[in-house]
Amino acid sequence: MGVNSNRAEDFSSQDTTLRITTESVMPGMEIHKVCLPPKKTTLQKLKQRLGEIFFPDDPLHRFKNRTWCKKLLLGLQFLFPIFQWGPEYSLKLLRSDTISGLTIASLAIPQGISYAKLANLPPIVGLYSSFVPPLIYSILGSSRHLGVGPVSIASLVMGSMLSETVSPHDEPILYLKLAFTATFFAGLFQASLGFLRLGFVIDFLSKATLVGFMAGAAVIVSLQQLKGLLGIVHFTTKMQFIPVISSVFKHRDEWSWQTIVVGFSFLVFLLTSRHISMKRPKLFWVSAAAPLTSVILSTLLVFCLKLKSHKISVIGYLPKGLNPPSANMLSFSGPDLALAIKTGIVTGILSLTEGIAVGRTFAALKNYQVDGNKEMMAIGLMNMAGSCSSCYVTTGSFSRSAVNYNAGAQTAVSNIIMSTAVLVTLLFLMPLFYYTPNVILGAIIITAVIGLIDYQAAYRLWKVDKLDFLACACSFFGVLFISVPLGLGIAVVVSVFKILLHVTRPNTLIMGNIRGTNTYQCLGRYKEASRVPSFLILAIESPIYFANSTYLQERILRWIREEEDWIKANNEGTLKCVILDMTAVTAIDTSGIDLVRELRKMLEKRSFQLVLANPVGSVMEKLHQSKTLDSFGLNGIYLTVGEAVADISALWKSQP
Amino acid sequence: MGVNSNRAEDFSSQDTTLRITTESVMPGMEIHKVCLPPKKTTLQKLKQRLGEIFFPDDPLHRFKNRTWCKKLLLGLQFLFPIFQWGPEYSLKLLRSDTISGLTIASLAIPQGISYAKLANLPPIVGLYSSFVPPLIYSILGSSRHLGVGPVSIASLVMGSMLSETVSPHDEPILYLKLAFTATFFAGLFQASLGFLRLGFVIDFLSKATLVGFMAGAAVIVSLQQLKGLLGIVHFTTKMQFIPVISSVFKHRDEWSWQTIVVGFSFLVFLLTSRHISMKRPKLFWVSAAAPLTSVILSTLLVFCLKLKSHKISVIGYLPKGLNPPSANMLSFSGPDLALAIKTGIVTGILSLTEGIAVGRTFAALKNYQVDGNKEMMAIGLMNMAGSCSSCYVTTGSFSRSAVNYNAGAQTAVSNIIMSTAVLVTLLFLMPLFYYTPNVILGAIIITAVIGLIDYQAAYRLWKVDKLDFLACACSFFGVLFISVPLGLGIAVVVSVFKILLHVTRPNTLIMGNIRGTNTYQCLGRYKEASRVPSFLILAIESPIYFANSTYLQERILRWIREEEDWIKANNEGTLKCVILDMTAVTAIDTSGIDLVRELRKMLEKRSFQLVLANPVGSVMEKLHQSKTLDSFGLNGIYLTVGEAVADISALWKSQP
**Would you call B464 and A622 a contact, using CB atoms and an 8 Å cutoff?**
yes
Higher pLDDT: B172 or B2? It is B172
Under a CB-based contact definition with an 8 Å cutoff, are residues A215 and A458 in contact?
yes
Interfacial B residues in 263-282 facing A (CB < 8 Å): none
Q: Which residues of A touch B550 (CB under 8 A)?
A: 200, 203, 372
In which band, very low, low, confident or very high, does the pLDDT at B189 lie, cut at 50, 70 and 90?
A: very high
Q: Rounded CA gap, B36 and B17, in Å?
A: 13
Q: Rounded CA gap, B388 and B329, in Å?
A: 8
Q: Rounded CA gap, A11 and A34, in Å?
A: 8
The closest of A368, A375, A316, A287 to A111, measured between CA atoms, is A287
**Nearest-CA distance A337 → chain B (Å):** 26
Work out the number of other CB atoms within 10 angstroms of the CB of residue B300: 12
Q: Is B604 on the interface with A (CB under 8 A)?
A: no
- % of residues, chain A, pLDDT over 70: 95
pLDDT digits (tens, 9 = 90+) for A234-243: 887 777 889 8
pLDDT digits (tens, 9 = 90+) for A134-154: 999 999 998 888 999 999 889
In which band, very low, low, confident or very high, does the pLDDT at B13 lie, cut at 50, 70 and 90?
A: very low
In this prediction, residue B21 carries a pLDDT of 34
Q: Rounded CA gap, B500 and B491, in Å?
A: 14
**Would you call A367 and B618 a contact, using CB atoms and an 8 Å cutoff?**
no
**Nearest-CA distance B386 → chain A (Å):** 29
ipTM: 0.83
Interfacial B residues in 352-381 facing A (CB < 8 Å): 364, 367, 369, 372
pLDDT digits (tens, 9 = 90+) for A555-570: 998 899 889 888 888 8
Would you give the distance in Å from CA B455 to the centre of its chain? 19
Under a CB-based contact definition with an 8 Å cutoff, are residues B82 and B139 in contact?
yes
Q: Rounded CA gap, B180 and B177, in Å?
A: 5
Q: Rounded CA gap, A191 and A382, in Å?
A: 9
Q: Which residues of A touch B501 (CB under 8 A)?
A: 53
In which band, very low, low, confident or very high, does the pLDDT at B632 lie, cut at 50, 70 and 90?
A: confident
Q: What angle do CA B363, B368, B372 make, to 5 degrees?
A: 65
| B16 pLDDT more than 80 | no
In this prediction, residue A319 carries a pLDDT of 85
Q: Is B587 on the interface with A (CB under 8 A)?
A: yes
Q: Rounded CA gap, B24 and B26, in Å?
A: 5
**Would you call B514 and A52 a contact, using CB atoms and an 8 Å cutoff?**
no
pLDDT digits (tens, 9 = 90+) for B462-493: 988 888 899 899 999 998 998 887 888 888 88
The torsion of the CA quartet B34, B37, B41, B46, rounded to 10 degrees, works out to -130
Over residues B419-445, mean pLDDT: 88
pLDDT digits (tens, 9 = 90+) for A178-235: 999 999 999 999 999 999 888 888 888 888 888 898 899 889 888 888 888 888 878 8
In this prediction, residue A379 carries a pLDDT of 95
Region for B311 from its dihedrals, namely left if φ exceeds 0, alpha if ψ lies in -120 to 50, beta otherwise: left
pLDDT digits (tens, 9 = 90+) for B67-99: 888 888 888 888 888 888 888 889 998 998 998
pLDDT digits (tens, 9 = 90+) for B558-598: 899 889 888 888 887 889 999 999 999 999 988 899 999 98
The beta strand positions in B303-462, using DSSP E, are 395-397
Identify the helix (H) or strand (E) that includes residue A603: helix A590-605
In this prediction, residue B381 carries a pLDDT of 95
Crossing angle of helices A172-195/A372-387, nearest 10°? 150
Average pLDDT, chain B: 86
**Would you call A506 and B622 a contact, using CB atoms and an 8 Å cutoff?**
no
In this prediction, residue B574 carries a pLDDT of 87
Q: Which residues of B touch A558 (CB under 8 A)?
A: 56-58
In this prediction, residue B313 carries a pLDDT of 81
Crossing angle of helices A590-605/A617-625, nearest 10°? 70
Phi, psi of A197 (to 5 degrees): 55, 40
User: Shortest CB distance from A367 goes to which of B46, B56, B605?
Assistant: B605
- Please report which residue ranges of A306-371 form alpha helices under DSSP H: 337-365
- Please report which residue ranges of A280-324 form alpha helices under DSSP H: 284-305
Q: Rounded CA gap, B418 and B85, in Å?
A: 19
pLDDT digits (tens, 9 = 90+) for A52-108: 888 877 777 778 778 888 888 888 888 888 888 888 889 998 998 998 999 888 888
**Nearest-CA distance A54 → chain B (Å):** 10
Q: Is A260 on the interface with B (CB under 8 A)?
A: no
pLDDT digits (tens, 9 = 90+) for A378-397: 999 999 999 999 999 999 98
**Would you call B200 and A547 a contact, using CB atoms and an 8 Å cutoff?**
yes
User: Shortest CB distance from A495 goes to which of B465, B546, B593?
Assistant: B546
**Nearest-CA distance A465 → chain B (Å):** 6
Q: Nearest residue on chain A to B606, judged by CA atoms?
A: A367
pTM for the model: 0.82
Q: Rounded CA gap, B235 and B218, in Å?
A: 18
Q: Is A169 on the interface with B (CB under 8 A)?
A: no
Q: Determine the 3-state secondary structure of B511 from DSSP.
A: strand
Interfacial B residues in 77-96 facing A (CB < 8 Å): none
Strand-strand pairing, B520-522 and B508-514: antiparallel
Under a CB-based contact definition with an 8 Å cutoff, are residues A146 and A396 in contact?
yes
From the candidates B36, B465, B508, B548, which should be mutated to test the interface with A, based on the most A CB atoms within 10 A?
B465
**Nearest-CA distance A211 → chain B (Å):** 12
**Would you call B547 and A499 a contact, using CB atoms and an 8 Å cutoff?**
yes
**Would you call A583 and B586 a contact, using CB atoms and an 8 Å cutoff?**
no
Q: Is A524 on the interface with B (CB under 8 A)?
A: yes
User: Shortest CB distance from A558 goes to which of B58, B590, B625?
Assistant: B58
Q: Is A542 on the interface with B (CB under 8 A)?
A: yes
Q: Is B624 on the interface with A (CB under 8 A)?
A: no
Residues with Cβ within 8 Å of B488's Cβ and at least 6 positions away in sequence, in order, are B205, B209, B213, B346, B350, B475, B478, B479
In this prediction, residue A18 carries a pLDDT of 35
In which band, very low, low, confident or very high, does the pLDDT at B22 lie, cut at 50, 70 and 90?
A: very low
In this prediction, residue B308 carries a pLDDT of 59
| B27 pLDDT more than 80 | no
Work out the number of other CB atoms within 10 angstroms of the CB of residue A143: 28
User: Shortest CB distance from B589 goes to which of A468, A542, A586?
Assistant: A468
In this prediction, residue A239 carries a pLDDT of 77
Under a CB-based contact definition with an 8 Å cutoff, are residues B251 and B234 in contact?
yes
Q: Which residues of A touch B583 (CB under 8 A)?
A: 583-584
From the candidates B26, B589, B591, B600, which should be mutated to test the interface with A, based on the most A CB atoms within 10 A?
B589
**Nearest-CA distance B103 → chain A (Å):** 30
In this prediction, residue A15 carries a pLDDT of 37
Q: Which residues of A touch B488 (CB under 8 A)?
A: none
Q: Which residues of B touch A505 (CB under 8 A)?
A: 52-53, 56, 200
Contact pairs from chain A to chain B, CB under 8 Å: 235
pLDDT digits (tens, 9 = 90+) for B94-145: 998 998 999 888 888 888 988 998 899 998 999 999 999 999 999 999 888 8
Quick one: DSSP state of residue B60? T
Maximum distance among all Cα pairs of chain B, rounded to whole angstroms = 106
pLDDT digits (tens, 9 = 90+) for B498-555: 888 888 888 899 999 988 888 899 888 888 888 888 899 999 999 999 889 888 998 9
Q: Which residues of A touch B58 (CB under 8 A)?
A: 558
In this prediction, residue B18 carries a pLDDT of 35
| B656 pLDDT more than 70 | no
In this prediction, residue B128 carries a pLDDT of 94
pLDDT digits (tens, 9 = 90+) for B308-361: 566 778 888 888 888 899 999 898 888 889 999 999 999 999 999 889 888 888
Kindly provide the b/e burial profile for residues A258-271, where b requires at least 16 CB atoms within 10 angstroms of the residue's own CB: bbeebbebbbebbb
Q: Nearest residue on chain B to A368, judged by CA atoms?
A: B602
Q: What angle do CA A426, A428, A432 make, to 5 degrees?
A: 90
Q: Is B53 on the interface with A (CB under 8 A)?
A: yes
In this prediction, residue A16 carries a pLDDT of 35
In which band, very low, low, confident or very high, does the pLDDT at B4 lie, cut at 50, 70 and 90?
A: very low
**Would you call B605 and A364 a contact, using CB atoms and an 8 Å cutoff?**
no
Q: Rounded CA gap, B611 and B30, in Å?
A: 18
Highest mean pLDDT out of A31-35, A127-131, A523-527: A127-131
Kindly provide the b/e burial profile for residues B117-133, where b requires at least 16 CB atoms within 10 angstroms of the residue's own CB: bbbbbbbbbbbbbbbbb
Interfacial A residues in 423-482 facing B (CB < 8 Å): 460-461, 463-468
At residue B189, what is the residue type?
F
Q: Nearest residue on chain A to B586, judged by CA atoms?
A: A541
In this prediction, residue B307 carries a pLDDT of 61
3-state secondary structure A217-251: HHHHHHHHCHHHHHCCCCCCCCCCHHHHHHHHHHC
User: Shortest CB distance from B554 goes to which of A36, A56, A516?
Assistant: A56
In which band, very low, low, confident or very high, does the pLDDT at A305 lie, cut at 50, 70 and 90?
A: confident
Under a CB-based contact definition with an 8 Å cutoff, are residues A180 and A381 in contact?
no
pLDDT digits (tens, 9 = 90+) for B596-610: 998 998 898 888 999
Q: Which residues pair with B147 in a beta bridge?
A: B397
Q: Nearest residue on chain B to A370, judged by CA atoms?
A: B554
User: Shortest CB distance from B464 goes to which of A203, A587, A626?
Assistant: A626
Q: Is B589 on the interface with A (CB under 8 A)?
A: yes
Q: Is A519 on the interface with B (CB under 8 A)?
A: yes
**Nearest-CA distance B645 → chain A (Å):** 15
Q: Rounded CA gap, A491 and A468, in Å?
A: 10
Under a CB-based contact definition with an 8 Å cutoff, are residues B418 and B134 in contact?
yes
- Please report which residue ranges of B388-454 form alpha helices under DSSP H: 398-406, 413-424, 438-450
Under a CB-based contact definition with an 8 Å cutoff, are residues B503 and B483 in contact?
no
Residues with Cβ within 8 Å of B523's Cβ and at least 6 positions away in sequence, in order, are B509, B510, B511, B512, B529, B530, B531
